[in-house]
Structure 1
Amino acid sequence: MTAQATTLASWTRALRKQLDSLGLDSLALCREAGLDPQWMDNPQARYPLSATTKLWQLAVAASGDPALGLKTSQFVTPTTFHALGYALGASASLREVFERIVRYHQVVSDALLLELNLVGDCYEFRLRVPPGSSEPAAEAQDAFAALHVRTCRNRLGRAYAPLAVHLRRPPPADPQPWQAVFRAPIVFAAPETLLRFDRASFEQPLDDANLELAEHNDLVLQRTLELREAPSWQRKVRACLQAQLPNGEPSAERIAQMLHLSLRSLQRHLADEGCGYEALLADTRQSLALAHMRDPRCSISEIAYLLGFADTSSFSRAFKRWTGQAPSQYREALRQNGS
């Protein structure tokens, strides 16, 4: 059975502020939903998805406003998401902002799976419900989508707008509030929540970047993730892959031997966690590649070796699939951004 998803308790503070601004008793609504309001002041506290979903339902009923989620993002501050908020504010480009959102989103909530992909001249940012998990409230998904667009506007100006917005939520009776917030073509009842952004704006260097501050908060976030992650077969396989990749691409059979499992047992364990070996290998390589690329002391040929590629050309082809850029282009962009 999949454990119930949870969300950082401090995220709910933004909804409480929204309700209070409407003259509603947010404290009473939290208690009715089964949430202890004192947890919101604990930076590590988390609420179960079932309780936060109930709070959203109660909040919409009390306010009579189905667009309530869109307005909640205005009450989010850098401290709402603790170290993540500061890391995002110090990032060198919107691409880097969203890479951090994807990398560290589980610190905020594991109710959604996030992806950022370069597709042609656009970046597509996807929010998916994990297999076998409950659907977060439509208003909560509205709030996250609006917050991500607001994050872009905070860095590039109020006029900024995405190219397109796809929302899983049913079409509202009056779509005007959504049009007013996103200022982009919107598809309701979409298969997945998706925001599409133009590539040029995402790769534009940001003047207020602070590499030292971003890296400091990265360390805090990484420690938080490590403390949160329960032992899993994916985590064990990743650790084995990191140890074996400098010796060449390891087979699934080799990793199974290291974990004292049969190949079939390893495949079954990963399938139970919604993952396959090849996908995990590619994801581990990609994460390590992006980390190594930030170290100017590590040459591209050395990175190819550390990731178990047969030669630099094979690594370059894989890196271009992951990022849309050759390794040399990516590293030059990092240099220009001061990353």
Structure 2
Amino acid sequence: MSQSATLLTSWALALHRTLELRGVQSHPLFVKAGLDPRLLGDANARYSMEGMTRLWRLAVESSGDPAIGLEMARQVSPTTFHAVGYRLNASSTLREAFERLVHAVALVSDALRPSFTRDGDCYHVILSATDGGPDLCEEETDAVAYLLVRFCRVAYGRELSPREVLLRRARPPELTPYEKLFRCKVTFEAEADVLIYERAPFEATLPGANPELARINDELISRHLARHAGLDVVARVRAVLEELLPQGEPTQEKVAERLHMSSRSLQRRLVDSGTGFRELLAETRRTLALAYLAEPGCSVSEVAYRLGFSDVSTFTRAFRRWTGQPPSRFGAPSRARQGRA
């Protein structure tokens, strides 16, 4: 899986809430997955898809629930995705809403490229990954599929269910959660992840239709998409750096190769975004260092390795520049006590 794909941290915030409601402390899981939990409070921050996949695995392990993605979808509200959510809810029909979703979904995740087509008397919502990009993990696909089903019920009526749901995931050991929530035939180990709906409800005028509000949010989305085109390269570079750091300090040329562009083109796009490669490398290392050191049992030497430093002393000097103190005095209480010993 290419780690250059990213998604809004507000999506991960819904999983954080799900875990906390179940009595599972989620912040240690974020750290273990290589995700800085402090970014959950930043509405515009993004996580790597690779890190999010690791978090899903840890969430299943900690909760003991392989269908936790279905529960997580219940923690998503229209405000979770900012103007995208408001835009969908103000649409005149479900057909119009899904056409808008296809246009704007990159603001939420550039790993998801849904398509929306009509096939006879049905509409198909296809949850497909970017060409050549990462596939969503099973739990993430569950969450996206049920989130869209919930949206249709809220917008149209609680009685609305798909004709059929097709999922590529392996057949789960317990089918009850899927049957209870989707309320239709669910086919597992399918060729694609698809929601199939009857045509009539998708073309009916919705009770909450608000063309003026939809137009306003269309304009907001267009501006956000234009800005995202510039910011996206920064998020992608951070994600690739996270992937490459354990192999040693990445070069600009290596990162550019992973992003399928020349080193000069990458440099120009980063300058246009107000930053540079060395600045992003240092910033990414600092953010990850603070997250890793907060994890109990993670040694300074292990952090140095995971951040691509040639030795501990080089990492220590860099950490002093970032924070004014050595890494042995930061983070987990046991490590701080060892540093004072």
TM-score band, normalised by the shorter chain?
Answer: 0.5 to 0.7
* Aligned residue in 2 for 1:73: 73
1:192-243 superposed Cα distances (whole Å, 9 cap, x missing partner):
10000111000000122111111111111111111222599xxxxxxxxxxx
Separation in structure 2 between the aligned mates of residue 59 and residue 161 of structure 1, nearest angstrom: 28
Aligned letter for 2:132? G
Structure 1, unaligned stretches of length 5 or more? 233-271, 274-339
Is residue 64 from structure 1 mapped to residue 70 from structure 2 by the alignment?
A: no
* Aligned residue in 2 for 1:50: 50
Aligned-pair CA distance for 1:154:
0.4
Separation in structure 2 between the aligned mates of residue 231 and residue 49 of structure 1, nearest angstrom: 17
* Aligned residue in 2 for 1:222: 222
Separation in structure 1 between the aligned mates of residue 28 and residue 209 of structure 2, nearest angstrom: 41
* Aligned residue in 1 for 2:209: 209
Separation in structure 1 between the aligned mates of residue 125 and residue 137 of structure 2, nearest angstrom: 19
Asked if the contact 2:156/2:207 (under 8 Å) is kept, the reply is no
Separation in structure 2 between the aligned mates of residue 71 and residue 231 of structure 1, nearest angstrom: 31
TM-score, scaled to structure 1: 0.66
Separation in structure 2 between the aligned mates of residue 55 and residue 174 of structure 1, nearest angstrom: 22
Is residue 192 from structure 1 mapped to residue 192 from structure 2 by the alignment?
A: yes
**Per the alignment, in what secondary structure is the counterpart of residue 113 of structure 1?**
coil
Aligned ranges for residues 1-339 of structure 1 at < 5 Å?
4-229=4-229
1:2/1:70 Cα in 2 relative to 1: closer, same or farther (>3 Å)?
A: closer
**Per the alignment, in what secondary structure is the counterpart of residue 127 of structure 2?**
strand
Q: How many residues matched?
A: 234
1:11/1:231 Cα in 2 relative to 1: closer, same or farther (>3 Å)?
A: closer
Aligned-pair CA distance for 1:102:
0.8
Separation in structure 1 between the aligned mates of residue 129 and residue 89 of structure 2, nearest angstrom: 27
Alpha-carbon RMSD = 1.9
Structure with higher RCO (Cα < 8 A, 6+ apart): 2
Aligned-pair CA distance for 1:43:
2.2
Separation in structure 2 between the aligned mates of residue 216 and residue 110 of structure 1, nearest angstrom: 23
**Per the alignment, in what secondary structure is the counterpart of residue 114 of structure 2?**
strand
1:243-302 superposed Cα distances (whole Å, 9 cap, x missing partner):
xxxxxxxxxxxxxxxxxxxxxxxxxxxxx89xxxxxxxxxxxxxxxxxxxxxxxxxxxxx
Aligned letter for 1:58? L
Aligned-pair CA distance for 1:44:
1.7
